[in-house]
A and B are shown apart, each in its own frame.
Chain A
Amino acid sequence: MPLFEVLGLTHFFGGLKAVSDFNLTFEGGELVGLIGPNGAGKTTVFNLVCGVYHPTRGEVRIEGRSLARLYPHQVTAMGIARTFQNIRLWPEMTVLDNIRVAHNYRLSYRFLDVILQTSRYRTAEQGIDQRAGEVLEIMGLRDYAEELAKNLPYGLQRKVEIARALVIRPKLLLLDEPSAGMNLGEKEGLIGLIRWIRKEFNLTIWLIEHEMRVVMNLCEKIQVLDFGETIAHGTPEEIQGNSRVVEAYLGKEID
C-alpha cells in the first residue's frame, strides 16, 4: 500500500478552478518538489491535504485511510505535519512552549487531570518536556528555548517551525517554501538541514519551493503546476528541459 496518495484532487474557489485533477503517489521515503509560477495553486494543494479546505472533488489518503472531511488537527494526528510559507510560529510564546503545544495532537490526559494534577497528567507533561528538550537539542535550538519566538532571527524561526513539525512524528512532512526570505548562506544550511532530518527521522518530504537551486539540489522528483494543472513531472533534469515548464515560467516566444 502506498504511504500517501492524492487522487484526482480538484478545488474551486467560487467559479475559479484553483486545482484541477491533481494526482500524486508516495511509496515512502521520497523527497519530491512541487513548483510552479505564483498563483499556480501550490499552497492550495497543501491546504487541501491538511484539511484547511475540503476539496470539491477527489480524495487524499494516508496509508490507505481517507482524509475526507477531517479537521486539520485530525489530519495532523494521522501523521502529516507542515510548515508555512510565511512563518507561523506563535510569536509571543517561548520557543520551548511552541514545541510543547505541538504535542496537543495526542494528549493522553483530559481537562480534569489538569485540574486535579493527577499522576497521569504529571507523567504526560514530563514526557512532553523531555521530548521537547530532545527535539530542541537535536535541532541545535537548546540555547534559545526560553527566548520568545518573535525575537529569533528569520533563519532560526524557520528552524523552530521545522522542529515544531517534527514533534508530531510525521510520516509525511510538507514544507511550504522553506527557503523564502533566506540569504544564500542560510539556503545552503537549509539544504543540508532538510537532507539531514530526512535521514534522521526517516521522513517522506514534499516541498513547495521557488528557489531553483534548492529544488534542483534536493528533490528526486518534481511536479510542476500552472493554473492548477499539472503540466509536467519527472526528475530535475527532465523538468529543466521541458518546454511547457519553460513556457510557464518565462512565457512563449512570439514568432
Chain B
Amino acid sequence: MRQYGLTILAFLFFVLAVGMSWAGTLSSYIQLVLMFVGVNIIMSSSLNLVNGYMGEFSCGHAGFMAVGAYTASLVSVWCFTAGSVFGPNLLPPAWAAVLFPFILLFGGLMAALAGLLVAVPSFRTRGDYLAIITLAVNYIVKSAIENIQPIGGARGFMGMGRVVNGMKEVADIPWMMIWTWIFVFLTILLIKRFVSSTYGKGIIAIREDEIAAEIMGVNTRRAKMVAFMLSSGLAGLAGGLFAHILGYINPGSFGIMKSTEALVMVYLGGMGSLSGSVLSAVFFTLLLEILRPLQLYKWVVVPLILILLMLFRTEGLLGHRELTDVFPRLKHIFGSRGKIDAAL
C-alpha cells in the first residue's frame, strides 16, 4: 500500500485536472498554465539528468525541444491535415487520437539523435568546453530551422490546432491535458527507474569521479551517450507536447532564453533531485504567470531570485536530496526503497 501513495496522488491529480477541464470548471487559461507546468516538469527533470546527476553543464536544452517540436508537428500535420505545405491528408484526421503518442515518441527519437551532437564531443571534453558545445548546438538547431523556408523558416509553423481538433471529433475530451500529464508521469517514472538502477548510477559515478568510474568498470562513453540521448529525447517529447498545446511554433521560442528557463528550474529545485525538479517546475511556471502583469520586468525579478538562491543556497532547494529525505515523514505516504535491508 505504502509504495503506491505517490501513484494514487498522481492519479487523483490527473483525474481532477482532466475532469475539471472537461466539465469546464477550469478556464482555458488555467488549463493552458496546467499544461505548461507539465511541459516544464519534463524539461527540468530531463535536464537534471545531465546537469544534476551526471554533473555536466548542458545549456542548450531548448535546441532538443525544438527538434522534437518540429518533428512531431511536421509529421502530425502531414498525416492528418490538408494544407498548402504537404497537400491532402494521408490519414483520416480522427486517427490522430490513437497515433499521436507515437508521433510524439518519434519526435523524441529525433531529438535523441540530435543529442548525439553533444554526446559524441562529451567523450573527449567536459566542463566549460562542453557547455559551449551545448550552446552551439542550441544555435545550430535554431538557425537551421530559421533557414528552412518550406517549414515556415523564421515565421514559424502552424496547423497542429487542426490535428487536435481532429482528435476532438473522436471524443470531446481535453486531449492535450491528458497526453501532457500521461507523458509527465512516464518521464518521471523513467528517470526514477534509470537513476536508481546500478546501470544509471554509473552516471552519478561519472559526476563524482569520471576516471575512477571508468577504471572501476563503468563504460563511461556508453553511459554518457545514454544520458545525453535520454535527456534530449525527453526534451523532444516536451517540445512535441508544447507545439500541439499552442498549435503554433516558431524557432524564436526555442532560443537561449528557453534553455535558460530550464536551467533556472533545475538549479532552483536542486541538482540531482527529481522531486526538486518537479516542484521547481511547478513553482517557476506559476511564478512566471503571477508576474505576468510586470511584463518585461519579470525578467528582472526572476534572475534576482536566482542570484539570491546562488548566494544563500547554492545547491538549490533540494540539492542531491529527495523530498522524502527532507521530510522523512513523507515516506509513510510515498514509500522508499529500503536500502541496506534490501542488500543484506
Contact = CB atoms under 8 A, between A and B. Distances in A.
B204 A105 contact: no
A72 B219 CA distance: 9
Contacts of A89: 208-209, 212
B291 to A, nearest CB: 34
Contacts of A133: 340, 343-344
B320 A92 contact: yes
B198 A101 contact: yes
A189 B189 CA distance: 45
A168 B344 contact: no
A154 interface: no
B212 A125 contact: no
A62 to B, nearest CB: 15
Contact of B214 (A72, A93, A125, A132): A72
A146 B343 CA distance: 11
Interface residues of A, number: 48
Contact of A73 (B217, B226, B340): B217
B215 A104 contact: no
Given A76-B215, A96-B343, A111-B226, A101 B197 contact: no
Interface in A87-128: 88-94, 96-97, 100-107, 109, 111, 114-115, 117, 121, 124-125, 128
Interface of B is mostly: helix
A11 interface: no
A247 B260 CA distance: 61
Contact of A101 (B202, B226, B342, B343): B202
Nearest to B189: A115
A130 B340 CA distance: 10
Nearest to A111: B226
B67 to A, nearest CB: 21
B2 interface: no
Nearest to B197: A114
Nearest to A103: B198
Contact of A84 (B193, B207, B212): B212
**From B190, B215, B344, residue with most partner A Cβ within 10 Å:** B215
Interface in B188-205: 190, 193-194, 197-202, 204-205
Contacts of B211: 52, 88
B198 A128 contact: yes
A90 B205 contact: yes
Contact of A102 (B200, B217, B342): B217
Contacts of A92: 204, 207-208, 320
B193 A93 contact: no
A201 to B, nearest CB: 17
Contact of A104 (B190, B193, B194, B199): B199
Contacts of A102: 216-217
B342 A73 contact: no
Given A105-B218, A142-B344, 6 more contacts: A91-B209, A101-B204, A109-B199, A111-B226, A129-B343, A146-B340
Interface of A: 50, 52, 71-73, 76-77, 81-82, 84, 88-94, 96-97, 100-107, 109, 111, 114-115, 117, 121, 124-125, 128-130, 132-133, 136-137, 142, 145-146, 164-165, 168
22 contacts: A50-B215, A73-B215, A76-B216, A77-B217, A81-B216, A90-B213, A91-B208, A91-B209, A92-B204, A101-B213, A102-B216, A104-B198, A104-B219, A105-B217, A105-B218, A107-B198, A114-B194, A114-B200, A115-B190, A125-B197, A132-B343, A133-B343
User: Considering the complex of A and B, which 3 residue pairs feature the smallest CB-CB distances, nearest first?
Assistant: A105-B217, A90-B208, A88-B212
